Amino acid sequence: MAPPAAPLDSAPLSVRAARAYLRLLQSSPILTKSVSSAIISALADLSAQTILRNKRFNLSSAGNYALMGLVITGPATHHFHRLLDRWLPPTLPAAAFLRLAADRLLFGPVFLLVTLYVLNRLEGHCHDSTVFMLKNGFLPMFKANLKFWVPLSYINVNYVSQEYRVLFGNVCAFFWIIIMASKRRRTALREAARRDREEEE
């Protein structure tokens, strides 16, 4: 006699997807976080292009954000949060603010600088052009970064379990990438205007 068929999972698709995600977090945490970072980053860039009313989607730009999420964002944030819990456990005095300071004043600016540099190079800008854009755009971007991320990071590093922090950060980053993409576009326009003036001279 054949064994009885396994019962079908009658749970909603969203519930089954969440269960599958949690299983993958346990079996392949870095890969899972990296892939989810890539998907959310690409979707955020496409959303930014829609808001900026691009005539057509720049899939190369979305691919750059996806590559950034896959190779840098996912692994970097995963390892940072592991080190954060090891070096600044929640039991320390004033741990909540120390963890926030480590996230926003140590990890944050370095990660933002790397992100902006890598994205500009992936877009085909040379090193000198990228450095010029960083000199003109990094400080305003960092100020906006602090305004956006400080309250969210406080919640993330103090109240979200370590295995879910990258996901929480990715969901928040969806909106941050839209802001960042808009600011980077304005900086790129200034750089283009500068090059035009140099060519006229």
Residue 170: per-residue pLDDT: 93
* Cβ-Cβ contacts under 8 Å for 43 (sequence gap 6 or more): 62, 174
Q: What is the pLDDT of residues 77-92, one digit of tens each?
A: 999 999 999 999 999 9
DSSP state string for 54-80: -SS--HHHHHHHHHHIIIIIHHHHHHH
All structural domains of the chain with their residue ranges:
30-200
What CA–CA distances, in Å, run from 186 to 15, 94, 161, 181?
Answer: 41, 39, 37, 9
pLDDT of 45 above 70? yes
pLDDT digits (tens, 9 = 90+) for 113-136: 999 999 999 999 999 999 988 998
| pLDDT for 180 | 84
Look at residue 101 in the predicted model and tell me its pLDDT: 97
Q: What pLDDT score was predicted for residue 7? A: 56
pLDDT tens-digit map of 144-177 = 999 999 999 999 999 999 999 999 999 999 999 8
So what's the pLDDT on residue 15? 87
pLDDT in tens, 9-43: 677 888 888 899 999 999 999 999 999 999 999 99
Alpha carbons within 13 angstroms on the beta-carbon side of residue 89 total: 3
Residue 65 near residue 177, CB atoms below 8 Å: yes
Q: Residue 54 carries which side chain, given as an amino acid letter?
A: N
- DSSP annotation of 94: T
In this prediction, residue 122 carries a pLDDT of 95
What angle, 0 to 180 degrees and rounded to 10, lies between the N-to-C axes of helices 162-200 and 29-51?
40
Q: What is the pTM of this model?
A: 0.84
Reduced to 3 states (helix: H, G, I; strand: E, B; else coil), residue 170 is: helix
Confidence at residue 8, expressed as pLDDT on a 0 to 100 scale: 55
